[in-house]
Every structure is written in structure tokens, then in C-alpha cells.
Structure 1
Amino acid sequence: MITLYGFGRIFREGIGETKDLRVEWALQETGLPYRVHALDHTAGELDSPAYRKISPFRQAPAIDDNGFVVAESGAALLYIAEKAGKLIPSDVEGRTRVTQWCFAAVSTVAPTLSLLGLGDIAGLNDNGRKTWTGIAKRWLDGLEERLDGREWIACQDFTVADILLATVLREVRNTDLVEPYPRLKAYYARALARPAWERTLALYAERFGVSVADIR
């Protein structure tokens, strides 16, 4: 059975924003058996000697599949898909296309959106915001173009690339930024309407003792 190392306690503002959501979503989509090991971030459990052996950067999530440990959420999603034979095509070109869009989500789109979301904390001034907003629009332009005539980002079917991209798009707090992108907005709504996502939110909310509405 897979053990998902996720959060069980974290500072209030972080609830609903953690990346273990995307891993549990993939597990819910595939139906692989798993259990959650809930980490207490506030008590420093991620810095414990035991967890340092699991995650080299002392981050969550990570997964342990009967002794085979995978850190980094993107890598965990690809492993889950390959193990289940779901959420990823069986041919090498299809798998490569999914991998490409997984990397695009976490390496290209996510850093810019995260920076804009944390702008006040990061100390962005007006010029900085303008610059990074321009970069974000470049990525969103590319996504909008890619979704022309497509339901999902990488392939005809829903894949782990869509889980990664949809959870990255949750970081967009400025709705004006995505307003000019009708295909992207429809894509995001489709992804978050999936029953497995709803189950994931419910389990996550239960873990933290909050309502689904608080984290949606």
C-alpha cells in the first residue's frame, strides 16, 4: 500500500494550498490503495531525522510504496500513473507528451503564478508586478492556444498533467488575470468538477477539521 506523507497540521493560511492535494487527487482518480501519514508542520516534524530520510529537501508531499520512496509532487504523480496504468497513455509519445506538460505546469507556469500570489510577501513593487504579470500572460496565452479544440492539455483523455496544471491554476487569486481566457477558464472548471477532486477536497477538509467551503 502507498503511504502519502501529507500535512495534518500547518499554519492557518496554508490550509488548502498544500501540494499533497494533487497527489491525493491522483490516488483518488486511479483507485490505488493508500493511507495518509499526516505530518505536523508546526511541531517541526518535517525536520525530524526520520522524515529527512524520506524527503531530501524536507518537503511534503512524498510517497512510500512498500519501501520505494518518491519525493516531489510531479514525480509522485507520474509514478502513480505508471503504477496504475491510468492517467497516462501506454505509448512512448503519449507518455512523453504528458511528461512535457507536467514539466510545463510545475517549471514554467507555477513559479510565475506563485510569485504573483505572494507578491506582497515577496515585496513586489508596481513595476515588478507589471513585469511578472506580463510573463504570466505569456504562459496563459500559450495555454489558451493549446486548448483550442482540446478538452485536456496533453492528450485526448484526462491525465496527471491536468491534475498538475489545474492545481497550479488554483494559485491564481487575481481573477482579472484569467478573465480574457475563456478556454482556460472552461478547462479549469472541467477539471475541478471531477468527482475524484470533490472526494479529495472532502478528505483533506476532514483531515484539517475545516469545511470544504473554506478550502475550495
Structure 2
Amino acid sequence: MVAQEFTVDLNKPLVYQVGYLGESYQEWVHQPIVSKEGPRFFESDFWEFLTRTVWWAIPVIWLPVVCWAISKSMQMGVSLPLIAFLVVCGVFLWTLIEYSLHRFLFHIDTKSYWGNTIHYLLHGCHHKHPMDGLRLVFPPAATAILLFPFWNLVKLMSTPTTTPALFGGGLLGYVIYDCTHYYVHHGQPTSKVPKDLKKYHLNHHFRIQDKGYGITSSFWDKVFGTLPPMKAAAKSR
């Protein structure tokens, strides 16, 4: 007897449904539904609230932390030129983290119940509903938790006096990333650079989803050979 294939009911909370898709999950989650109205994730209003974040909350919450971190290095006597260099290095470090997370974690293949469920919460929901504006940036509560391992990583790479500035640069890189990500989905760029960035990212969503992992730039895609084929990129124009 062949088991009946599970069908997701889009009118019911999705998070606890997607796990039952099993091996069909990957195909399902990469068939986008282009609608600005996002689905409901949880029956609980509390957990549902935690999944929704307005884009402007990211700079409002985290830019003061960036300034605080940089000021800590200044108070410990680090020169302004060195602080500027550390901030730039932190932003650059973030671009590598951004690429690595997107490629190796957010696009991991899953088929188990909890694997599918966790993947959907992390990134699958964004590919299924790419225009859901309230689930595009990372929830601040989750970011706060992830800042602890990021701080410890930065500590391994720097001295006690330079760690705060390097950390601040990395956090600034994250803020730029999340705001850029929101903009390429919902903004209407008129100049060449943002227009090309928007085309590049939407090509990842709607044409070749296993290439083009960079959000703020295509630099690491070029370095690691995950640049989308030029013909596919041209079609998205």
C-alpha cells in the first residue's frame, strides 16, 4: 500500500506542517508564492509575534550597539585610523559569514520532520514566500543570541582593545546586509548598482537557487565559484 502524499494547508499555521512533507519538502519550499501577505506560522499569538519584524527595527536596535562597541575601543586608547581599519575589516568579515551561512546552512538539504521544520524557520519560509516583508530581516531576539558566539569568534582574532571595534564592524556589516536584503526585495532602485544587486538576488530566488548566495555583493560567489551562469542572469533582466 502506497502512503498518501502529504499536502500542506496554506490556510493553517505552517511550521508544524512542513515537516510531514519529508523528501518532498525541498521541491515544495523552492516553488515560491509571490504575495505580500505572509502566511501564519504558529497557532500561538506570542510565537507568531516573534516571527514578525519590521525592517527598520534592525538599524534602530543594533546601530546603537555598533556605536557602543566602537566607543569601547576608543576609550581603551585605540587610534581613530586603526578603529576605522578594524570596522572595515569587521564589515568584510561579515560578508564571508553572510555567504557561508546562506550557502552551507540556509540551503542545506533536509528531509526529516525536524530538519524540514528548522530549515523552514531559518530560511525556507523566505524562499516559499519571498515577498513577506515582515519575515525578511532576522528577528532581534535570535540575533542577540547569535552575537555571543560571534563575539567569541572575534576575540580569537584580535586583542582585548581591538575586539570591540572589530565586533562593531561585523555587526555594522550585518545591519547593512539585512537592510540591503529588504531593499532588494521591496525597493525600486533607479541607479545601476542597486538595480544590478536586485536582479542578481531575485535571480537566486526565481531561477537558479543553488547559485548566487551573496546578498550585499557577488564577491564571494566569484571567489568560490558559485556565480550564476551569465545567460541565466541575463534572463532576469
TM-score normalised by the chain length of structure 1: 0.30
Which structure carries more strand by proportion? Answer: 1
Greater relative CO (CA pairs within 8 A, separation 6+): 2
Which structure carries more helix by proportion? Answer: 2
Larger Rg: 2
